Every structure is written in C-alpha cells, then in structure tokens.
Structure 1
Amino acid sequence: MRSAEQVPDAVLRLGLSEGLGPLLRKRCLAYFGSPEAVCAADAAQLSQVQGIGRGKAEKIYRSLQVADPDSEREEMHRYRASAVVLGDADYPRLLAAIPDPPLLLYVRGELREEDSLSLAVVGSRRCTAYGREQAGRFAGQLSERGLTIISGGARGIDTAAHQGVLRAGGRTIAVLGCGLARTYPPENGELFDEIAERGAMVSELPMRFPPLAGNFLPRNRLIAGLSLAVLVIEAARRSGALSTARQALDMGREVCALPGRVDSPASEGCHQLIARATAALVTGPPDVLQLLKSSSLSLFTPTTTPTSFTPTPTTATPATNSPAPDASTFKGNFTPGAADSPEGEAAVTGPGGEADGELFSPVHLNELQKRIYVALSDDARSLAELQRLTGSGAAAVMGELTVMEVRGLVRRQGSSFVRT
C-alpha cells in the first residue's frame, strides 16, 4: 500500500473535487487518459465529457484548483491511513473487476491477498435480537473457516457481524460511507479501532468527508465489489441492504439470504429475495460455503462481448501477474468442487457467420466472466492470453478468475487456467 506521500497530487485532487462521483470520474479518466490530464483540463474541455454540462464543468474546474493534497496527506498521517490506487499490484482484485472501481481507496489497517476469499454480511440497522444473534453466528463461524467478512460498520447487523468476527479471531473489513477521519456511528469508535488493528477500515471518500445520506448507496457497491458473495441476514422491504444484494447480482456475485419469521417485517426483504429466486436460502454457515464452491449451470444465455473501460492511472504501480488465491485456503472441510454439468450446450453463429462452438455461459456471470469462460472453451490460457482475448486489464481478469475459481468454474493448471 502507498503512504500519504506516495499518492500523486492529481489522484488526491480528483477525490477531493466536488461534483465528481464514481461515474463522472470514470468518464473523465476515459476521456482525458490520466488523473494528471483531468486536473490540467479547463472548464471548456471538461464540459465535453458526457454528463458534464457547462455549469458543472465550471464547478469541477474550480474545485480541482482549490483542492489541497497536502492537507489531505496531513489527515492521513493523523489517522495512520494509507491508500491503494487503481492499477496498483495490491489493489483488491475483486474490486478492480467491478464496472466503476474507486480510483483511490483509503485504508486504516491492512489489506491482504487472503481478503479475496471474502463474504459480505449485511442487513438492517433496526434489526431484531434474532438478526444480531445470527449475524454474529454466521460471521464468526465463517471467519473461522478462512473467509474475510466485509460489512459497512453501521448500527445493527453490520456491527454484530464485525463483533462476531473479532470474537472468533478472524479478519473483517468495514467499508465506511464517510471519510476515515470520521467516526459514524459515534458509538463504534472502539470497534473501528479494533477492526483497524485486526483487519481494515476502508473508504473511497476524502478523510474528513461527512456521513451524508447520499454516500451510502455508492458505498454499498464497494461492499459487494470486495466480496465473492453477499449474505443478507435481516432486511425489511425497503432496507438499504437490498441495494447491496442487487449490485452484487449485477456484478455476477452470489447472493444468499437468511429466512426469518414469516410475520416479521424485519425479514420481508429477505423473504422477497428468496421468493424471487434472486437469493439462495441459507440456514447455516455450511450452506454459504456450499454456495461458494458450487455453480448452478442449468441456465444458459448467449455470450456478448461489449467493450469496457478500466482506468489505469499513469502514476500507478503496474499490477503483477501473481496467481489468484487458491480456494483450498478455506479451513475445515470446504474444498473447491467442480461445477454441475449443464444439461446441454448449443453453438451460436459468430460475426463472420461461422459457428463459434461453445459460446454459451451461465446467466449469473457478469460480462467479463462470460468472456473468460468462452476464452477457456478449447484450451488452457495464461493470464496474458486471457487479457488479450477479453480486452481487459490484468487486475480485472485476475479478480474475476478468483471468483470463478472459488465457484468451481475454473482451476489453475501450472501458470495457466482451464475450465473445470
């Protein structure tokens, strides 16, 4: 990870500027090519980016000019925070694979390679005693099996999940909807210090950014993006935890939910997910482990290969081609298993009219996972070959290979990857 001094001024300026959320920041990087080029642009140039009109361009330009990277570095020193920049070798692989990964991620504590084997545990702030008990039970027992537990540090289910992991001696990561210099909720200050000592506190927001209501939906995408799967413990019909589940599904990650009493409003959201077959029903930690090592391949859809942009700042440390974490590092009796055999596969016609053969992939995979699955249809492929065939960067491909390996869709063969 980078110290405060190792984070480029331009990267800090982009994070500090008003009016540049994850989507517009990504568009600016795609348009201008680097953080430095974005910061050097004038208002007229900024207004050429999709979604930035003249008025917003003026606001962004002024904000970039007055942003104070040195003051931000002082805050990082004060709270012993470090950072990772998109494109760095130690940037979380799963997070790099989502459509809009943060350019800069602030960290209190330590991010490790083993955190790629991760589960998000989410639920309502206003939870029941049952919800708190189950959050601690699932999070604690699954962390003992080697999973890093991701949650949002909020009241209710999040707090119970973090506490369950710490009691069990496992690793947990809290993803905040405010800057790391803020303590929200205020009663969790001691808990956050303990998480930073035995896991990590992370945020994409500047150090002193307040916990505004509009921060939490974007924060939820990071919780989903850092995780192989999302477990919803207890959620009412309009709970924010359901947005985390939806975003996980959009990313091709697994979602599971715990049922509650049939007449409990606190579990209506979970029951809705289960009833619509968008979440697997789980009643104990072994169900979650089984979900992570299996893959339901009975539903198939034709593969498409749209282009996607993964910003790679020119100031970032190049990503390495180190192998994805091995799912065998899970403790206990959890071992990676092969995916269920599909009922059948059909050939589809390629752009030139010829049959492309085995070009069907599971509907629950995201687009990059589908392209990887197709690329592995006839032979083992190295990381470099998969990058070339999918048109994606090393970090994004490795992140998806990690997901697919744990699901039992692919396995490593020497320095290459093959379908299971």
Structure 2
Amino acid sequence: MIVPTWRDDDAPISRGPACRPRRPASRRLLVQPGRPRHRRLRRATGDPDHHRRAAPAGRSGSHARLEDHDRSHRASAQRGPGLSDPAAPRPGRPLCPGARRATDSDRRRRNTPHPRLRPHHRLRAAEEPPTLPPAPRAGRLDRLTMPPLDDHAVCMLRIALTPGLGPVRAARCIEAFGSPADLFSASPAALQRIQGIGSVLAPRIAAGLAASRDLADRQRESAARLGATIIARGGADYPPLLAELEDAPLVLFCRGRLSADSDDRYPVGIVGSRVCTLYGLEQSARFAGALARAGLTVVSGGARGIDTSAHRGALDAGGRTIVVMGCGLAHTYPPENVDLFEQIVADDRGAVISELPIETPAVAENFPGRNRIISGLSLGVLLIEAGARSGALITARIAAEEQGREVMALPGRVDSQASRGALELIRDGGAAPVIEPGDVIHTLENAARHHFQGTHEARFAPSPQGLFHADPPAPVGLSPLQQRIVALLTEPASADQISTRLGLEPAALRTELTVLELTRRIERVGGLFQAACGK
C-alpha cells in the first residue's frame, strides 16, 4: 500500500496530475511505499518554523521532528516562561481581559511530552528498537511480605486446600489423629478408617496433603499482595461464635480488621433479596444504621440490594460492618461494590472475609455455602425482604434449624411478591416479627448476655435426638410456673403462643424458658419450643 507522508526537505518531486494545484515546497507530499502517514505535530513550543527545519543526515524526517520537538520542550522548561509560553505576555500582544497567567500545574502539564509524541511503533529494520525496563518477576517470595502464620495456621491452611477434605471431614481427621500436624503423616489405610472417607477417597486425600505445601505458599503469596491475613480455626483471632459450628471454615481470608473479642463482639446479620423494592432498601439502611449506632456490627453478604444497603447504612452511621464474600478476595462481586469494600478496609470500619482460596471466581455454587458463615458469625439474623424463592431464606433456615440463632423478619405488604418469603416465615413461626430496631436489640439481649458470660455455646448447642440417647435431666427442682410451661409443651409452640395460653408477660416468660433450656427440660426447634425427649 502506498501511503503519503509529509516531505521533510525541498527536494524536487513530480507534480502529479495537472489539475492539482502545486503546494509549497515545505508542504508537498512525498509518496513512499511502506511508510505510514505521519500525523501533524502540535506546535506546543510556539515555534512557527518548527515543521520547516530539515532533518540532519542519517535520521528519518518524522523521527527527527519528534526528537526536535522533545528538545524544544526541555529547552522551554529550562528557560521558564517566555516567548514560547502561550500564557506569558508577548511584545505588542497584552493579555486579554479576563485571561489568567500560567500556574505551576499548567507548566508541568505543558512540559510533559504528549503520549503521541513518542517514536513511531513501526521502526525501520536498521534502527534499534527502544529498550524497555525489565518487567518485575512475579511470584518471588523474597519480594513480598508474607502474612505471619504459626505452625498451627499453616497446617490448617494446607488441610483446607486439600481436595476431599471439607470442614466436617477435616475436623474428624484432626480429632482422630490428635492434631493437624499429625494428619500429614497418616497413611491411606489410616485415613480410610475415618467416617466419611472410603477406600477410593483415602489415597486422593493422602496425595493432596503431600502436595499442599506449594498451594499454601501460593495462597500466602497472594494474600501478601492483597494485604490480607489468614485466620485459622482454633487460633486466638478466630471468631468464637463461628467456631461453635460443626462445619466452621478451617481458615478465613480477611482484608481489613476482624476484632471478634472487642469491636465486633456483638454482630447481627442482615440479609434479604437482591431484587428488592425501595421500601426494602430504606428499611435495610434504617435498621443497619440504628443497630450500628447501638454498638452492633452488621454482617451481610455484600450482594446487590438489601446486603449493599445494610453495609452502607452501617458505614453512614459511623459503625462497623463485615462482608462475607462468595468468591475469593482477588475478585469483587458485584463489581460495582469495589469502592464500598475498599472504604470498609481503608477506613478501618470492618472486614471483607471469605473461606474460599483467594483466586476463586464468583460462581453460583459458592454462594449458598457462605450463608452459614453470615449466620454463624451473628447472634441473630434479620430478614428484611425476601421473595418465596430468595436465597436469604436459606440463611434464615440455617440460622434457626442448624445453628440455633435468633431469626427475625420485617413484615412487608401482604400483596408484595418481594415480601412473600418473609411473611410466610413469620406465619409459620420461623421468625419473630420486628417493626423497630429496638425489637432486634430486645430479641438479641438474652443471646448477647450468654455470649458475654461465655455460655453461648451451651445455650445454643443442639439437644441430643432420640428417646434412648437423651441424657437424664439435671436434678434441679421446677417451680410451679416452670412445671406449667413443661406440661404445655407436649406439642411445639412459639414463645408468643405460650405467653398467650399462660397469660404471662413476654419478658417473664423469656427468663423461664432460658432456665428450662439450660436445665435441658425443654429444647428449641427452629423458632418453636417443645419438651425435651424423655421429660
């Protein structure tokens, strides 16, 4: 292809078609095969004859013009504002009314070469290509600050990265072999005797444990790049409420500060649907802000809709919030919340955590698993707005049935599909209705007291099932009121139903129910109470 370029000197050329007017010698086009069209330079230096200067011998015209342009820039920067400074007054040309003189930022911007004023990307074969600085070598452990981990945390990280070992199987293996470190010396035959590990899975787990050291080093390296920490189950920094769960994560990858023993001691989960109404967004921010001002940490999943509104409500109130991700910390989902998550970390207003390896992408199957972490971190869960098939109902069900957490729901319009799931949960007795933030604090008061006294795990521990496996009741005498309550609970009933039937105030009834649960006379099944087996 023949491309015209501007002529650099006054050498004679053919005129071309007779009908074409002859251009000045300095502006004629020289047709050369294989040469790209040269774009006209911006005359930033103020030199009217800049484009007329001939190129020295041995240099192409376009490259010579580029080099002269950069040289003029440097000379202009050294001599300061003068005749070449468009903002400086010129002889016979005073500043126009309202014009301003050049500032330092203007001069810095003017003296910086334009991105287009660089050597052309197509160089001749005889010319040397520009020398680029060597790219930094990624993956160098000596160039990164590795997160400090003790031997226990390193072992737990390696176990968590082993295929086939989930939280439950890993806990069984650690209990069988005595410690996490002893698990790495176990043979496939020994692993095969663990419940849930057969002859097919045992060799794979043994091979995975042997190859887990390199995986753990890469995770620590990735955590160092992100400024993240790794919190291992059984360590001093691991959240005690989450540690009560049978399937608690072996490790948590954390950006920010997770202070489970001080600032984040009393967390509350706020969940809801991604597809929500304006009413749901307003109430989520309202409840989150009020609870944050009361000293509670708001825990949610960082998703669109109710979750995002809850996080922002807590931050606007000057409180703390924890984001439980459904992907690795190297990814942000949803992507529009990247500024929100960075604000939480940069302003020391909470943490962004995940149990998944750092490079894990956001896929649908990873999100239901994080729901148990949201409820496990919390004293109770508040359901703001959820449809009949919302994923937030999974969190509420896990909190009530598997973890024994308090579950509350905000009533919505009875004809609104966005509130259908929450209304059904209230109707079936699976959640306590709340209409004010004070109702949430009142509901969590008993659980917070047990957590403060260190008896929360016993308070919410699941009761043994079956007639012949139940332990005998503690030898504690019952008051007449307590006997009436036990006699009434031959069938499951909610606290409101018991209060109505016995004519008791809710506060007085709650105290008696707590005593009966601690003495194992009654047990909680979701949001209902019933007499314990054999009682």
Cα distance in structure 1, aligned partners of 2:408 and 2:276: 18
Question: Are positions 1:268 and 2:451 aligned together?
Answer: no
Residue 249 of structure 2: aligned partner: 102
Does residue 203 of the first structure (1) align with residue 346 of the second (2)?
no
SS of 2:173 mapped into structure 1: helix
- Name the structure 2 match of 1:220: 371
In the alignment, which of 204, 209, 219 is matched to residue 59 of structure 1? 204
Higher relative contact order (CA 8 A, sep 6+): 1
Q: Is the 8 A contact 2:258 2:351 kept in 1?
A: yes
Bigger fraction of residues in strand: 1
1:131 corresponds to which residue? 280
Q: Deviations over 1:324-379 (max 9, x none)?
A: xxxxxxxxxxxxx88734389999xxxxxxxxx9542552699xxx99xxxxxxxx
Match of 1:119, SS state, is: strand
1:258 aligns with 2:392: no
Q: What does 1:28-107 correspond to in 2, within 5 Å? A: 28-67=173-212, 68=214, 69-107=216-254
2:417 is equivalent to residue 247 of structure 1: no
Amino acid at match of 1:87: G
Q: Which residue number in structure 1 is paired with residue 172 of structure 2?
A: 27
CA-based RMSD of the aligned residues comes to 3.0
Match of 1:288 in 2: 440
TM-score, normalised by the number of residues in structure 2 = 0.56
Matched to 2:407, the amino acid is V
- 1:163 counterpart (299, 307, 312): 312
Aligned to 2:50: none
CA distance in 2, matches of 1:79, 1:71: 13
Q: Which runs of 5+ in 2 are unaligned?
A: 1-145, 448-461, 471-506
Distance in 2, Cα, partners of 1:344 & 1:98? 21
Distance in 1 (CA, whole Å) between partners of 2:413 and 2:195 is: 47
Partner of 1:172: 321
Distance 2:345 2:515 in 1: 48
When residues 358 and 77 of structure 1 are mapped into structure 2, their CA distance, relative to the original with a 3 A threshold, is closer
Q: Does 1:192 align with 2:341?
A: yes
Decide which moves more: 50-59 or 200-209: 50-59
- Equivalent pairs, count: 322
Aligned equivalent of 2:524:
363
Q: CA deviation at 1:57?
A: 2.5
Alignment pair present for 1:4 and 2:147? yes
Pair 1:345–1:166, CA change in 2 (3 A): closer
Q: What displacement does 1:262 show?
A: 0.9
TM-score by length of 1: 0.70
Distance in 2 of aligned mates of 1:66 and 1:303: 40
Measure the CA separation in 1 of the matches of 2:149 and 2:253.
13
Return the alpha-carbon distance in structure 1 between the equivalents of residues 446 and 509 of structure 2.
6
Deviation at 1:304, TM superposition (A): 4.8
Q: State the secondary structure of the residue aligned to 1:62.
A: helix
The residue that corresponds to 1:279 in the other structure is 431
1:289 & 1:123 partners in 2: Cα distance?
19
Structure-1 separation of matches of 2:272 and 2:526: 24
- How big is the shift at 1:175? 0.9
Q: Which amino acid aligns with 1:64?
A: L
Q: In 1, are the aligned partners of 2:157 and 2:250 still within 8 Å (CA)?
A: no
Inter-CA distance 359–126: structure 2 relative to 1 (3 Å threshold): closer
Deviation at 1:192, TM superposition (A): 1.2
Q: Which one of 264, 268, 273 corresponds to residue 115 of structure 1? A: 264
